[in-house]
Amino acid sequence: MIGEESLSLPKQRKDFMELNINRISTHPGNVLKEEIEARGISQRQFSEMLGVSYTMLNEILNCKRPVTSDFALLVEACLGISPELLINMQSRYNLTKAKMNPSLIARISNIRKAVAAL
């Protein structure tokens, strides 16, 4: 029989996981903003290259709008950045933000209590 301590995570791993719980994942807009700045491309130029409005691009680069699959494919065509990378970053960002939402946390807690009572 496997002992209980062999099933638990090592203390260092637990500490690492606890540190990452409160860390907000990087929004892909931050990466794109740094990339176009490094390439000397203005936001206005980049929006024209992509064929999207300046306002939409600016909101993405300032983390106020999510990166969609369509947008990620446009970025790949323009900059060669993997659309999967951008979408995965957006998903992690969304999950992190959701895990920090007090009303969602309360709803999840209530659901878990109801399920445990079954």
Residue 63: CB partners within 8 Å, gap ≥ 6? 27, 29, 30
R_g of the chain, CA atoms, integer Å: 20
Count of other CB atoms within 10 angstroms of residue 72:
21
**Integer Cα distance of 28 and 23 in angstroms:** 15
Is this structure's pTM higher than 0.85?
no
Is the pLDDT at 7 greater than 60? The verdict is no
Domain ranges of the chain: 11-116
The confidence score (pLDDT) of residue 10 equals 53
CATH topology of domain 11-116: 434 Repressor (Amino-terminal Domain) (1.10.260)
Strand ranges (DSSP E) for the chain? Answer: none
Average pLDDT, the chain: 87
Phi-psi region of 63 (alpha: psi -120 to 50; beta: other; left: phi over 0): left
The confidence score (pLDDT) of residue 24 equals 80
pLDDT digits (tens, 9 = 90+) for 10-55: 555 455 444 455 678 999 999 999 999 999 999 999 999 999 999 9
Selected residue with higher pLDDT from 88 and 17: 88
